[in-house]
Amino acid sequence: MSDRLYKAFVLRTPGVWQFVVEVVKAHAQAYIDRDKPLLVIITSQEHDATDGQRAYWQGVLLPRIADEIPDEDGELHPVAYWHEKLVLEFLGMDEKVSESGKIRRQRKSTARGKISVGDFNDLITRTQVWAANQGMELD
Write the CB contacts of 111 (distance below 8 Å, at least 6 apart in sequence).
none
Q: What is the structure's pLDDT at 131?
A: 96
Instruction: Give the CATH number of the domain where residue 123 resides.
Output: 1.10.3790.10
Same domain, 36 and 52: no
Please, which pLDDT band fits residue 1 given cuts at 50, 70 and 90? very low
If pLDDT is split at 50, 70 and 90, which confidence band does 69 have?
very high
Average model confidence (pLDDT) across the chain: 89
Whether pLDDT at 2 is above 70: no
Cβ-contact 9, 15 below 8 angstroms: no
| Other Cβ atoms within 10 Å of 20 Cβ, number | 15
Tens of pLDDT, residues 118-127: 899 999 999 9
Residue 139 falls within a domain, yes or no?
A: no
Q: Quick one: pLDDT band at residue 71, thresholds 50, 70, 90?
A: very high
> What pLDDT score was predicted for residue 82?
97
Same domain, 128 and 63: yes
CA–CA separation, 16 and 11 (whole Å): 6
Give me Rg for the CA atoms of the chain: 17
Residue 67: its pLDDT value, please? Answer: 97
Q: What is the DSSP string of 67-122?
A: HH---TTS----HHHHHHHHHHHHH-EEEEE-TTS-EEEEEPP-STTTSBHHHHHH
pLDDT tens for each residue of 34-59: 998 887 777 777 888 888 899 999 99
Please tell me whether residue 12 adopts helix, strand or coil conformation.
coil
9 plus 71 within the same structural domain = no
Among residues 91, 65, 90, which one has the least CA distance to residue 77?
65
The total of structural domains in the chain comes to 2
Q: What percent of the chain has pLDDT over 90?
A: 46
CB 57 within 8 A of CB 115: no
